[in-house]
Structures are given as C-alpha cells and as structure tokens.
Amino acid sequence: MKKKEFKAESRRLLDLMINSIYTNREIFLRELISNASDAIDKRYYESLTNKDVKVNKDDLEIWIKVDKDKRELIVSDNGIGMDKDELDSNLGTIAKSGSLLFKDKMEEKEDVNIIGQFGVGFYSSFMVAKSVVVRSKKQGSDVAYEWKSEGVEGYTIEECQKDDVGTEIILTLKDNTDEESYDEFLDIYNIKAIVRKYSDYIHYPIKMDVSHRSKVEGKENEYEEKVTTEILNSMIPLWKRNKSDIKDEEYNSFYADKFYDFEKPQKIIHTKVEGMLSYTALLFIPSKIPYEYRTGEYKPGLKLYSNGVLIMENCEELLPDYFGFVKGLVDSDDLSLNISREILQHDRQLKAIQKNIGSKIKSELENMLANNRSEYDKFFENFGIPLKVGTYSNFGANQAELKDLLEFYSSSEKKLVTLKEYVSRMPEDQKAIYYACGDSYENIAKLPQVEKIEEKNYEILYLKDPIDEFVFQILLAYEGKKFTNVATEEIDLGSEEEKEATKKLNEDNKEMFTVMKEAIPEVEVIRFTNRLKNHPVCLTTEGQISIEMSKVINSVNDPNNKVKPKLVLEINESHPIAKKIQDLFKESKEDLKDYAKVLYSEARLIEGLSIDNPVEISNLICKFIAK
C-alpha cells in the first residue's frame, strides 16, 4: 500500500506534537470529543434538511473505550463520517485558523507552553499516541475507510469493514519511558475527570463502560465486577447554566474552542430573555480585531441553536450589520428546527431577536463608556470603524442609534472624546463643532487653519480615519451644532468690521488675483483671508467635496473618473507676503505669476498633496532666494 505524505506545514505541526514535552497533553481528548460533537451536529442538521437522512436524536452519542492490554484509547461517534477524499484532505492538511495560527506563533518562538492556548485539533492526538487509526463511514455511503498514521512519515488510506455511520479513532498510546508515562490515559477515573473538565457542556452523551466492584446480593463477603454504562458529561450547554455559577475561565475556554480566538474576549454578554419571544444569547466582543477582518474573509453572524442543538453555524440575520464584529450564539426554543436560510431572512421572530440583541449590545457599550472609559477606548480602537461605517451607511438610517457611541480625538483634551462631551464644553459664543482632517494627529495640528481656531480656545476634533468626514456629512449636526470643517468652510470668527475689511481688500485686489490665476489654472478662487494666524497660505475647497474626501474617493474610483474638489487658495492678509504680491502686481506681473505657483505648491504640500511640477518649483524658489 502506498504511503501518502503530509503537506509540509502539517508535517511541522505533527512533528511538534510528537516531540512535545507539553505538560497539558490531556487536551487531546477535548479536541477529539469536540470533533466528534461537530460531526454529530452535521449529521443531525442533515437529517433536518434532507428527508432521506433519518436520524433519531436520542441515538446520537460519543463513546470512549479503553483497552489496557493493547494500550488503546478509542473515541467513537455516530456523526456524519468522512469518505475517502475527506479523510485525505481533512486529516492530511491543516485547514483551520486555530491550527494555522498556532503554527505561525510556534515559528515565531519555540515555546510549547502556548499549545494550550490554541485549538490544535486532531493532530494533538500525536502528543500521546504512537499510532492513530481513524475508521470512518460517511453518511449515505456503503463503504468505510481506514486512515492510519504513525507520525511524520505519512499515512495510508484503505477500505475497511465498519457497519455504522460515523467515525472511530483508535489511539495506541506511546510506550512509557523512564521520564514519561502515558498510563493515565488508560485510567478510567482520570478519563472521567478530563471529560468533565473540558467537555462537560457537549450536548451529546459521552458514554463509557465503567466496572465497579460490588457486593453480590445476598452473600456476605462475596464481590463481583459489574459493568455499567456511565454518561460522563452533564450535557448542559454552558449558556443554559446560571450565570452566577459560571467561572470566567469556563466562558473563556468555551469562547476559544468555539470561535477560534485564543485571546480572551474583552466583553462577555450573557443574557436570558423571556416573554413573547424567549431566547438565550451568549455574546463576546473580541479583544482584538479578528485576523479575518484584514484578509476580508470575516463572516459576521451568530451561531443559531434551537433548544441546545446547532441549526446554523453563521446566522447573519441575528446581528445588526454595525455590530458584525460581535461573536456568539443565540439559542431559542421558539424557533422551528427545520428552518431554512430563505425562511430565516423573512422570519419575524428573528428580526425581533436582532432588534433586542442590538439594543442589548448597545446598552452594554454605553455602560462601558460611562463606567470604564479606558476599556471603552480600547474597544473603540478595535471596532470604532464598523460603528462609523454603520452611522454613515444606509443613508444614515442608524445614526440615532450610534452617534453617541462614537469617539473622536480632541485638540484640547488630547484624547478620544464623544460628541456629547464636546458639545457640553462648548463656550457660549462657539456656534459650530469644528473639525479638521489629515493623515495623522500631528499633521492636523500643524494645519494653518487650525491655529487660529485654537487661539480662540475652541476645541477641534481631529479626524484621521478616511471615513470620519463622511460620518459628519451624514450627521450634519449634533444637538443643533453644525459640523464645520475648519479648512473648507466659512468660519465666523472675526468681528463684522474685520469681515468688511477683508471683503474690501479682496475687491480691491481682484485684478491681481486674475493675473495670479493665469499661472495656476486649477485653482478656482484666490483670496485674502483673516483666518490664518502665522501661516502665509492655505488651500481650502468650496462645495461638497473636500480635499480629504477626494483622496478617499479617488483611491477607490476608476482613475479616469477622478473627482476634483473646487480649490481655493487663501493668503494670510496680515502676513508680509500679502504686501509683497501687491507690490509685484505693480512692478512685475511675471514675478507675480511665479510667486503664485510657489505659494500654491506650498499650500498643496501642507495639505499632504503632491505637486505636479517639482523641478519647476524648486528652480523658482532658488531664483527668488538668489535675488
């Protein structure tokens, strides 16, 4: 028979397992039981959706058997089973994120102690077994196959005899050495303890035959060995237990096991709802951004159970889109078991659960915001973007729900603040909520337009996420205070006289600006301004599209279809440059045009925009320096 080779990364993981000196080897049993339970879930689910598959729920079970003489530990299930191809691909490669993540971490630093933090899966059996045999018969198939491996050299698959659908995993334990003994995994009492520790909530019975010495009835001093079948687990799903009886570690290990996230969740929400619609929800907010978020493979949704039985792995309808980062499950006795995806989409009960869950998550977040700000800031660091996207999308349909959960960086507080906090601090004479955009807080702080507003002691919100400005465009105002971009919008800071003076200055210099515009045709308006303090120039826009927005839009749009903001070059009326250009207008129109080019380029650079003609501009600057 031909031996097949493991894929390279499986080999490596396997190698780690075989040679591991990890003390917590017992977790292999948790992994095998969890696989068995998954397989039974799948078979049961099949039976609900496929008329040809008939399964009696009460027959579904997991068995553990021990053969001390052969040093065998056997875990079997009557789940969905695997066919030949599945044995090959499921056991020959590492597919699951848990194992992959583990492998990556392992490569970073060789520390076996991190094994326990990961769902290392099937291969963990090689921590205790010198040979692993998997005999399996797939639901709907007549033939059974046997997969066998003794380690990294490879594995074989051949046909075998097996009557019932399901999978049987036979571990032949490693030989004891002077340092290591594996006998504990043949010890019935120890096995019982391991199952209770890790797999108590598995909702199928885990059965084992246990023999006891007991008195022979009616006889004084005679004993006999009696074998009884015991169910080792309580079968009560974690979420059905009383909140007060559940330890944090139990929640955390459940979360790791079910959701392949081995960092403990930031927030656990466990809630029972009774009434018209009864359900239990167990929700987790991850403490970091899920890996799949970055790769775009993240699937939002909650697991859906009906009375303890999994009926859908990922039910999107249970969560509002903007809370898509929440993981967890919902168990409702009110739902019909053979509910199909199509029905679900229109299910009124489900819509109602979604609404309830949405408000529950929201109120938990509000609590965190009010009572544990540093935790909330950490949360917002991770998941602020989905909340902002939620505020903005669907034409702002959910803005009322979300606007008080948003945080933005404040120029005066130097930390994240809410809109409510901002407004509560606004001085009497401040009319609007000011904000400025850029790619970092440092760069925003240096924007020419920011200076003058800060001089007035007004707070400015610094926006560095590209989505932020879109959010403000949808919100328009908060508590009646309009959002105002300090770089682009008319800002009413000066007195009436000052405004009149600037207006007159601009009218008097109309012709000068016309000449300057000839040199920089992409600029639509040039004017003097009184809103800059020390800086000579700034670039602003008029109309709907700001410079920051155009950067975002153009980065996703077709390059031939770029949007162009309506550019305005503003020149500080009290800067010496103002007088200089007015002189040049009289003395040399050519120099004035060159000045216009240089000033415009300066303004572009400050805004974080590139300049099209760097050589020309550099030469011009040198020309003026040399004069």
Binding footprint of ligand ADP on the chain (CB under 6 A): 31, 35-36, 39, 77, 79-80, 82, 90-91, 96, 98-99, 119, 121-122, 167
Contact between 358 and 405 (Cβ < 8 Å):
no
Judged by beta carbon, residue 145 or residue 478, the one nearer ligand ADP is: 145
Q: Which residue is nearest to ligand ADP (CB)?
A: 121
- Pairing of β 206-215 and β 62-67: parallel
CB of 61 to Mg ion, least distance (A): 18
**Per CB under 5 A, which region of 119-127, 168-176, 184-192, 203-211 contacts Mg ion?**
119-127
CB of 98 to Mg ion, least distance (A): 8
Judged by beta carbon, residue 37 or residue 546, the one nearer ligand ADP is: 37
Distance separating alpha carbons of residues 21 and 24, to the nearest angstrom:
9
**Per CB under 5 A, which region of 33-41, 210-218, 511-519, 545-553 contacts Mg ion?**
33-41
Judged by beta carbon, residue 39 or residue 568, the one nearer ligand ADP is: 39
CA distances from 473 to 65, 146, 468, 483 (A): 65, 63, 9, 8
Query: Can residue 386 be called a binding residue for Mg ion (CB under 5 A)?
Result: no
Judged by beta carbon, residue 124 or residue 449, the one nearer Mg ion is: 124
Judged by beta carbon, residue 29 or residue 48, the one nearer Mg ion is: 29
Report the residue count for the chain: 627
Residue 39 binds: one of ligand ADP, Mg ion, none (C-beta under 5 to 8 A by kind): ligand ADP
CB of 180 to ligand ADP, least distance (A): 24
Residue 82 binds: one of ligand ADP, Mg ion, none (C-beta under 5 to 8 A by kind): ligand ADP
* Integer-rounded Cα radius of gyration of the chain: 34
**Per CB under 5 A, which region of 4-12, 27-35, 478-486, 488-496 contacts Mg ion?**
27-35
Contact between 33 and 62 (Cβ < 8 Å):
yes
The residue ranges of DSSP E strands in 438-579, in sequence order, are 460-463, 477-478, 481-485, 523-529, 537-542, 566-572
Distance separating alpha carbons of residues 592 and 584, to the nearest angstrom:
6
CB of 41 to Mg ion, least distance (A): 12
Judged by beta carbon, residue 121 or residue 237, the one nearer Mg ion is: 121
CB of 251 to Mg ion, least distance (A): 20
Residue 483 binds: one of Mg ion, ligand ADP, none (C-beta under 5 to 8 A by kind): none
CB of 161 to ligand ADP, least distance (A): 18
Query: Can residue 139 be called a binding residue for Mg ion (CB under 5 A)?
Result: no
Distance separating alpha carbons of residues 309 and 307, to the nearest angstrom:
6
In degrees and rounded to multiples of 5, residue 128 shows phi and psi of -120, -15
Express the helix, strand and coil content of the chain in percent, nearest 5 each.
45, 20, 35
Residue 90 binds: one of ligand ADP, Mg ion, none (C-beta under 5 to 8 A by kind): ligand ADP
Query: Can residue 324 be called a binding residue for Mg ion (CB under 5 A)?
Result: no
Query: Can residue 125 be called a binding residue for Mg ion (CB under 5 A)?
Result: no
Judged by beta carbon, residue 167 or residue 382, the one nearer ligand ADP is: 167
CB of 166 to ligand ADP, least distance (A): 7
Query: Can residue 484 be called a binding residue for Mg ion (CB under 5 A)?
Result: no
Distance separating alpha carbons of residues 287 and 383, to the nearest angstrom:
10
Query: Can residue 121 be called a binding residue for Mg ion (CB under 5 A)?
Result: yes
User: What distance, in Å, lies between the first and last C-alpha atoms of the chain?
Assistant: 89
The residue ranges of DSSP E strands in 399-495, in sequence order, are 408-410, 416-417, 433-437, 460-463, 477-478, 481-485
CB of 121 to Mg ion, least distance (A): 4
# binding residues, Mg ion (CB under 5 A): 2
Contact between 38 and 60 (Cβ < 8 Å):
no
* Placement of tokens 């408000």 in the chain: 359
Residue 438 binds: one of ligand ADP, Mg ion, none (C-beta under 5 to 8 A by kind): none
Query: Can residue 37 be called a binding residue for Mg ion (CB under 5 A)?
Result: no
Query: Can residue 35 be called a binding residue for Mg ion (CB under 5 A)?
Result: yes
* Placement of tokens 């978020």 in the chain: 293
**Per CB under 5 A, which region of 116-124, 325-333, 365-373, 582-590 contacts Mg ion?**
116-124
CB of 88 to ligand ADP, least distance (A): 11
Distance separating alpha carbons of residues 57 and 80, to the nearest angstrom:
13
Residue 562's contacts (CB-CB under 8 Å, 6 or more residues apart) are 550, 554
Contact between 239 and 213 (Cβ < 8 Å):
no
Judged by beta carbon, residue 119 or residue 237, the one nearer ligand ADP is: 119
* Placement of tokens 């493979």 in the chain: 297
Residue 598 binds: one of ligand ADP, Mg ion, none (C-beta under 5 to 8 A by kind): none
CB of 126 to ligand ADP, least distance (A): 11
Judged by beta carbon, residue 82 or residue 537, the one nearer ligand ADP is: 82
CB of 120 to Mg ion, least distance (A): 9
Distance separating alpha carbons of residues 257 and 27, to the nearest angstrom:
11
* Placement of tokens 């090959």 in the chain: 88
Positive or negative, the Cα torsion across 199, 201, 205, 209? positive
Query: Which residues bind to Mg ion, rule: CB under 5 A?
Result: 35, 121
